[in-house]
């Protein structure tokens, strides 16, 4: 009798533990079989996105598909003076003088792109502006000046970011420039001003976090290739958990002042699994003070 009672208690405890696991990790138990653990859930049953994440791609160089090239800043190669195969074997373009000393470190790795269909539907004037931006990357790219990166670029910069999830607010802390943004899951009204990171309002559609971002300024780019937007930018992000360590990220981009239609980017995001994974400081403003302000930026007031 005692053995039977003990077995019943143990069996009941095991059933309870399976039920807790199903709630916590999104598993589903069937007769004699348990599905693979997919992702954790919060106490209110929503996907638990807490953690440190990072994109692993070349989108920050160029969100469209692109071959490897010597540098972001290029100059035309001089014409060949010898028969093909007998002279130098240089590409069509060469690194511009300001980045020549970087050598391979300044090169651009090839990438398959993250734009669905690999087409950005620029209006004619905007396509010309994009080319001007690319030709003047060294002086125009906001990343070089350590401006806040904007959305969606903050997601695929080559730095980790941390998601801190609660019931009515979700904070995302990015390593680059110490950028942060708050996703408001409750009604907080309209943004008081246009900003680099925009105004984020979120809701859940099943297990997907949908974030509607508006109220941008026009001071950010999508990448180093000169892809840009106006203050009319509207981004709708979708964060969908694939399993415990992977999210699928998609962003629909709309800007009637610059593009002829909405377009999308998508990519996986990977959880940083180091046991001591941390978003460290990369406060680059102090690194560019001399670039932006010349001698004034290099002056040490304490020495005067």
pLDDT at 296: 67
Q: Say how far apart CA 286 and CA 175 lie, in whole Å.
A: 15
Q: Angle at the Cα of 162 (from 247 to 45), degrees rounded to 5?
A: 55
- Beta-bridged to residue 171, according to DSSP, are 164, 182
Six-digit token string for 230: 């106006």
- Separation in Å, CA 183 to CA 127, 180, 211: 32, 10, 7
Extended strands (E) in 146-198: 161-165, 169-174, 180-184
Cβ atoms of 99 and 71 closer than 8 Å: yes
Q: Bridge-partner residues for 69, per DSSP?
A: 108
DSSP 85: T
C-alpha–C-alpha distance, residues 277 and 194, integer Å: 33
**Residue 100 pLDDT:** 86
In angstroms, the CA 262 to CA 242 distance is 25
The reported pLDDT for the residue numbered 3 is 45
CA-nearest of 154, 266, 153 to 208 is 266
Least Cα distance to 132 among 60, 257, 226 occurs for 226
Helix residue spans in the chain (DSSP H): 2-25, 124-135, 137-140, 153-156, 289-293, 295-298
pLDDT of amino acid 129 = 98
Distance CA 22, CA 24 (A): 6
Residue 210 contacts residue 188 (beta carbons within 8 Å): no
pLDDT at 12: 45
> What does the alpha-carbon distance between residue 287 and residue 304 come to, in Å, rounded to a whole number?
21
In a 10 Å sphere around its CB, with 0-12 CB exposed, 13-18 middle and 19+ buried, how is residue 220 labelled? buried
What's the pLDDT at 90? 59
Q: Can you tell me the distance from the alpha carbon of 129 to that of 230, in angstroms, rounded to the nearest whole number?
A: 12
Task: Tell me the C-alpha distance between 251 and 107, whole Å.
Answer: 28
Query: What pLDDT score was predicted for residue 201?
Result: 98
What topology does CATH give the domain 51-68+114-290? Lipocalin (2.40.128)
Q: Give me the pLDDT at residue 26, please.
A: 52
What pLDDT does 121 receive? 98
In 3D space, the residue among 81, 110, 78, 106 whose CA is nearest the CA of residue 92 turns out to be 78
Which pLDDT score, from 0 to 100, does residue 73 have?
Answer: 87
Q: Is the peptide bond before 125 cis (omega within 30 degrees of 0)?
A: no
- Collect the ranges in the chain with pLDDT lower than 50: 1-25, 27-34, 37
Compute the distance between CA of residue 174 and CA of residue 156 in angstroms, rounded to an integer.
10
Q: Please give the torsion angle defined by the CA atoms of residues 251, 255, 256 and 258, in that order, rounded to the nearest 10 degrees.
A: -120
pLDDT at 88: 54
């Amino acid at each position: 009798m005692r053995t039977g009672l003990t077995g019943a208690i143990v069996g009941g405890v095991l059933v309870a533990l399976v039920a807790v696991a199903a709630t916590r990790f999104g598993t589903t138990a069937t007769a004699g079989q348990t599905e693979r653990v997919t992702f954790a859930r919060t106490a209110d049953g929503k996907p638990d996105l807490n953690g440190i994440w990072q994109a692993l791609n070349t989108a920050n160089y160029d969100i469209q598909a692109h071959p490897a090239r010597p540098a972001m800043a290029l100059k035309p190669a001089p014409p060949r003076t010898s028969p093909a195969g007998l002279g130098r074997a240089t590409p069509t373009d060469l690194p511009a003088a300001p980045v020549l000393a970087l050598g391979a470190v300044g090169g651009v790795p090839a990438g398959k792109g993250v734009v669905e269909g690999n087409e950005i539907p620029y209006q004619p004037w905007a396509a010309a502006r994009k080319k001007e931006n690319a030709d003047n990357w060294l002086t125009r790219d906001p990343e070089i000046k350590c401006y806040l990166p904007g959305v969606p670029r903050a997601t695929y910069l080559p730095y980790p970011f941390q998601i801190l999830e609660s019931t009515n607010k979700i904070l995302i802390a990015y390593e680059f420039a110490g950028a942060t943004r708050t996703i408001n899951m409750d009604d907080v009204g309209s943004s008081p001003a246009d900003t680099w990171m925009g105004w984020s309002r979120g809701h859940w559609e099943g297990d997907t976090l949908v974030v509607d971002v508006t109220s941008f300024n026009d001071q950010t780019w999508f990448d180093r290739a000169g892809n840009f937007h106006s203050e009319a930018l509207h981004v709708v992000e979708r964060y969908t958990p694939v399993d415990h360590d992977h999210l699928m990220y998609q962003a629909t981009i709309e800007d009637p002042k610059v593009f002829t239609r909405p377009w999308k980017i998508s990519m996986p995001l990977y959880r940083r699994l180091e046991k001591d994974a941390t978003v460290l400081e990369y406060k680059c403003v102090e690194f560019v003070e001399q670039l932006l302000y010349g001698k004034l930026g290099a002056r040490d007031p304490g020495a005067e």
